[in-house]
């Protein structure tokens, strides 16, 4: 079996760009993958085109060998951009291998450790009831405590075990991190009062705080018994988690912006985090994610795969979750069975709060190339946050 082509196909889905990677072979099998950094689709397409010349004519079953070639080729190690392109290709190679052997990918990764995967939602994207006040989402994003409590009650009624919030985001105005953190605390207190201990509360600070403010936030939030505080500080400053660790008892998570096991190494080996937020579509695909999970397991650190993307990222994350012992709940932002359903056909379902067990060979995703042409890439300006004095701050 030989690789005959590697293609990058960016699609415009509602609320998100999906950067799809297809790997074709001379025996008629085509694997599908997805690349991260979805706000840089043209850059990803350029990297995929560059890597294509190293892949055409190669045996797609030599996954580790091809991963090393792509990551270490050209002398310079891969960064987030190249890591995202490698991830899309790597996931597609695992899909091909599963199809060739007639087995779902999780069987190739060692077999399943669980019968289904528990999920949590990004609250801002959570489904709403038909009778719900249409202003609820707007009030929620503006930091309204009553809106947060109402959304939590709705999700609890639907059987959800986790409720996650982020700092209120501005609607085009300035963003002051400390002010937003105070609003977030008020929302969290309202949610805890509304649902008691029936839901686990999660916070995604989205790398928006500096260490002193992150310490202050965590200390204020400790009485709320949070399940995890995610990305309180910028991902570039791993050492900052050592400072946080000394001052808070709350569980910490980081890693959604890290591109390899080398970037996870310090946080894991020094026990600076409790959850590794590996993004399979940025950190080199399933090949690298399995290694990061194994490294984390040696420190009793759980994996919370980051998933802001489409059905392919969800499928790859699902197969990893099924095959490792230290998987935590799985993030879902976009419903895999409702995101461009004419383009993606999934062999698994989001059933209530669970992702079901895929039985189809490979990833369990069928891709309709003709339907995909109806969703061409739309260039748009990514969101930018700034403080009141005009200085740039993290989105």
Residue of 296, 298, 259, 300 lying closest to 276 (CA atoms)? 296
Contacts of 333 (CB under 8 A, 6+ apart): 16, 121, 122, 125, 307, 308, 309
CA distance 260 to 83: 8
**With b meaning 16 or more CB within 10 Å and e meaning fewer, what string describes 189-228?**
bbbbebbeeebbbbbbbbbbbebebbbbbbeebeebebbb
Q: What is the DSSP string of 263-295?
A: HHHHHHHTT--SEE---TTTTTHHHHHHHHHHH
Structure-derived torsion over alpha carbons of residues 297, 299, 300, 303, reported in degrees to the nearest 10: -50
> Active site residue: 206, 319, 354, 386, which one?
206
354 classed as catalytic: no
State the sign of the Cα–Cα–Cα–Cα dihedral 385, 18, 64, 66: negative
CA distance 256 to 207: 10
241 neighbors 252 (Cβ within 8 angstroms): yes
Contacts of 326 (CB under 8 A, 6+ apart): 293, 296, 297, 300, 301, 302, 303
Q: What is the DSSP string of 301-312?
A: PEE-----S-HH
Tokens representing residue 347 in the block:
């062999």
Contacts of 343 (CB under 8 A, 6+ apart): 11, 367, 368, 371, 372, 375
386 classed as catalytic: no
CA distance 34 to 158: 30
> Active site residue: 306, 335, 354, 384, which one?
306
Tokens 């650190």 belong to residue: 301
CA distance 164 to 77: 35
140 neighbors 155 (Cβ within 8 angstroms): no
Active-site residue list: 206, 306
């Amino acid at each position: 079996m030989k690789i005959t082509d590697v293609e990058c196909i960016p699609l415009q889905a509602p609320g998100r760009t999906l950067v799809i990677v297809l790997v074709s072979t001379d025996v008629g099998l085509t694997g599908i993958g997805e690349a991260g950094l979805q706000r840089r689709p043209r850059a990803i397409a350029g990297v995929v085109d560059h890597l294509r010349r190293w892949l055409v004519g190669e045996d797609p079953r030599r996954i580790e060998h091809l991963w090393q070639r792509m990551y270490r080729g050209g002398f310079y190690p891969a960064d987030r951009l190249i890591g995202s392109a490698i991830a899309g290709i790597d996931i597609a190679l695992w899909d091909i291998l599963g199809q060739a052997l007639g087995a779902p990918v999780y069987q190739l990764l060692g077999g399943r450790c669980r019968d289904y995967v528990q999920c949590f939602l990004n609250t801002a994207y959570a489904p709403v009831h038909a009778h719900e006040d249409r202003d609820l989402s707007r009030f929620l994003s503006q930091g309204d405590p009553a809106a947060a409590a109402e959304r939590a009650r709705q999700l609890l009624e639907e059987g959800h075990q986790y409720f996650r919030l982020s700092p209120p985001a501005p609607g085009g105005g300035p963003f002051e991190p400390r002010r937003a953190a105070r609003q977030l605390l008020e929302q969290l207190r309202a949610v805890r009062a509304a649902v008691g201990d029936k839901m686990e509360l999660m916070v995604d600070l989205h790398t928006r705080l500096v260490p002193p403010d992150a310490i202050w936030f965590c200390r204020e939030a400790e009485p709320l018994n949070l399940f995890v505080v995610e990305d309180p500080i910028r991902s570039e400053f791993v050492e900052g988690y050592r400072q946080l660790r000394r001052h808070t008892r709350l569980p910490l998570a980081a890693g959604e912006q890290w591109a390899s096991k080398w970037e996870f190494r310090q946080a894991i080996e020094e026990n600076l985090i409790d959850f590794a937020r590996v993004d399979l579509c940025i950190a080199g695909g399933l090949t690298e994610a399995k290694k990061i999970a194994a490294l984390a397991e040696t420190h009793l650190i759980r994996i919370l795969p980051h998933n802001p993307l489409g059905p392919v990222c969800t499928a790859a994350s699902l197969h990893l979750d099924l095959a490792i012992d230290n998987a935590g709940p799985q993030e879902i932002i976009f419903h895999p069975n409702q995101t461009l359903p004419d383009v993606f056909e999934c062999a698994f379902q989001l059933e209530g709060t669970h992702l079901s067990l895929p039985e189809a060979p490979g990833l369990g995703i069928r891709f309709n190339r003709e339907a995909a042409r109806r969703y061409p890439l739309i260039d748009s300006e990514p969101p930018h946050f700034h403080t009141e004095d005009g200085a740039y701050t993290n989105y």
